[in-house]
Amino acid sequence: MTQEELFKKLIAHCKEYGFIFPSSEIYDGLSAVYDYGQLGVELKNNIKTYWWDSMTKLHDNIVGIDAAIFMHPKVWEASGHVGAFNDPLIDNKDSKKRYRADVLIEEWIAKQDEKIEKECAKAAKRFGESFNKEMFVQTNGRVLEIAARRDEVNRRMAEALNANDLVELRQIILDCEIVCPISGSRNWTEVRQFNLMFSTQMGSVAEGANTVYLRPETAQGIFVNFLNVQKTGRMKIPFGIAQIGKAFRNEIVARQFIFRMREFEQMEMQFFVRPGEEMEWWKRWKETRMSWHRALGFGDDKYRFHDHEKLAHYANAATDVEFNFPFGFKEVEGIHSRTDFDLGRHQQFSGKKIQYFDPETGESYVPYVVETSIGVDRMVLQVLSAAYKEEQLENGETRTVLSIPAPLAPVKVAVLPLVKKDGLQEIAMDLVHKLKFDHNVQYDEKDSIGKRYRRQDAIGTPFCVTVDHQTKEDGTVTIRERDTMKQWRVSIDELESIVADKVGMRQLFEKLV
C-alpha cells in the first residue's frame, strides 16, 4: 500500500468510525472545515489533557488562561497581523488553481532531496557493502550539482520572503520550471499578497460597527494578559502562560485533511525570560517539546527539527518539530524565540507600561519570550496516521487496528458478555458501572466475540474484557490486549488496577520528568 493509499484509507476510516466528519456534510461540506465526531472529540480531549497537564502540572512556573477569541482590533495592528499576516499567492491561468508561491518552491526543494536519495539508493545498489553514503554525498558530481542548486534556490526564496520581493518569488518559480500539478502548465499570474485574517462586525451597523477579527493565533491573548497574570499570580521570571483555543486563518491552499484547516485549535505556551537568556531557554524548550512527542512511542525517527532560514518579523530563532505524515515530513509545532517584540509593541500601542521588576537584579525590563505553539488537529492527525495499521493475521484474515497510545485512546475498555444469557449480561453491566467512574467504557453484546474484538481494534480500544461462564464460578474475566491480541484471565478485583496502570497519563508524564 502506498502512503497515498494509506492516507485515503485513514480519512475514510475516520469518517466510518465517528472520528472526523466534513463540516455541514449534508450541504456538501465547507472547504477545509471539519467536525469531530463521538470518538474524535475524546481523542482530541485526551491530547489536550496530555499537553495541558504536562505544561501546568509538571512545571510549577507555568499557569494557564482562557482568553476570548475576539480581541480589541488594535491588538492585531500591534502584533503586525493587519500589516503582514500575508501569504504570497499565485494562480495558474490554465487550471485556475491558486497556490502559495513559497509552498510551490518548498515542494520543488523537497523534490531535490528525493533526487539525491534516489542517486544514493542507485549507488548503494552498485557498490553493495562498501557503500559509504556520507562520502558519496560529499563527492559525487551529480549529487553536488543538485544540492548546490537546491541550496541556491533556498537562499533566494528566504531572501525574497524577507524582502517581500514578490517579483523575485515568481522568477524563482519560472527558473525552477515549476508546473501546475493540475494543468501541467507554466502559465502563472503575478504573485500577490493575501491577508489570512477573517474579519467580522461587532455592534450594529447603525451605531457605526467596528471591524473585529477572529484571532489567527491564541498567543496574543496571553501577551495582553501578561501583567494580569504576573501580578495576580505573583509570578517570577522565568515563568510561562499556557492556553488552548480556537484560531482562524483564511488559508489559500487548504488541503491534506485536518492538516491545514480554516478553523483549528492551538495549544500555545509563552515563556517569559530575562533578556539575553532567551537562546538558552529556546534550546531547552526544543528538547522538552521533542521529548513530549517522543514519549508517545511512535519511533524517534518519525520526528525531526527544521530550523528556519526565514525568520518571522518578531523572531531571533525558530524551529519546527516535523512529523513524518503519510505525505512526508511536515510541521506540527513551532518553537520560536520572539524577543521582546510582542510585549514591546503592546506597550507602544496601548500606551501602558508592560514591564517586569526583577527583584534579583533590581531592574525593570520588557521580558523576552520563547513560544511553543502546536496545532491540536495536527496532533490528532499525527496520532491517527501513526496508529493506523492493517495487519495480516495468522488465520489469513486482516484486521484494521488503531494502535493509539492507551492514555490517548477514546475508549479505554470494552466489556463484552460472551453470550446474551445465563446472567452474563448482568455481570458485565455491573463491571461497566464499576469502571465508568474512572474510564470511558463501552458495553457490547452484539455479534460474535471475534467481530466485537475487531470493532474495538478499529477504534483503538486498548482492552477488551470478556465475561464468560467461568466468571460466575471464580470471579475472573478474560482480558485481551489490543496490539498483541494476548489474552489472560484476571480476577475482577484486580481488573481496575491493571487497567488504570496502563491507560493513565502518568506513564507518559513519567517519561518527561
Residues that bind ligand ATP (CB under 6 A): 217, 249, 251, 260-261, 264, 266, 331-334, 373-375, 377-378
- Burial classification of residue 194, based on how many CB atoms lie within 10 Å of its CB (0-12 exposed, 13-18 middle, 19 or more buried): middle
Q: Where does 347-501 show beta strands of DSSP type E?
A: 356-358, 363-365, 368-375, 388-392, 398-402, 413-417, 441-443, 463-467, 476-481, 487-491
**Residue (281 or 356) nearer to ligand ATP, CB:** 281
Q: Give the β-pairing of 413-417 and 34-36.
A: unpaired
The Cα 435–Cα 429 span in angstroms is: 10
**Residue (212 or 261) nearer to ligand ATP, CB:** 261
Shortest Cβ 331–ligand ATP spacing (Å): 5
For residue 436, what is its C-alpha cell? 465508568
Shortest Cβ 254–ligand ATP spacing (Å): 7
The Cα 149–Cα 155 span in angstroms is: 10
Shortest Cβ 281–ligand ATP spacing (Å): 18
The one-letter code for the residue type at 209 is: A
Give the position of cell 513560544: 371
First to last CA, the chain: 39
Note the helical H segments in 17-140: 40-56, 73-78, 81-84, 101-127, 133-139
The Cα 335–Cα 374 span in angstroms is: 9
**Residue (340 or 377) nearer to ligand ATP, CB:** 377
- Taking Cα atoms as reference points, which of 461, 450, 453 lies closest to residue 499? 461
Q: Where does 102-238 show beta strands of DSSP type E?
A: 192-195, 198-202, 210-214
Distance, CA of 286 to chain centre: 15
Shortest Cβ 183–ligand ATP spacing (Å): 24
**Residue (71 or 485) nearer to ligand ATP, CB:** 71
Shortest Cβ 280–ligand ATP spacing (Å): 22
Shortest Cβ 144–ligand ATP spacing (Å): 29
204-226: burial string, b at 16+ Cβ within 10 Å, e else: eeeeeeeebbbbbbbbbbbbbeb
**Residue (260 or 346) nearer to ligand ATP, CB:** 260
Using DSSP, state whether 296 is helix, strand or coil.
coil
Shortest Cβ 33–ligand ATP spacing (Å): 10
For residue 100, what is its C-alpha cell? 502559495
**Residue (22 or 375) nearer to ligand ATP, CB:** 375
**Residue (217 or 468) nearer to ligand ATP, CB:** 217
**Residue (247 or 464) nearer to ligand ATP, CB:** 247
CB 234 within 8 A of CB 265: no
Shortest Cβ 182–ligand ATP spacing (Å): 21
Shortest Cβ 427–ligand ATP spacing (Å): 45
**Residue (266 or 337) nearer to ligand ATP, CB:** 266
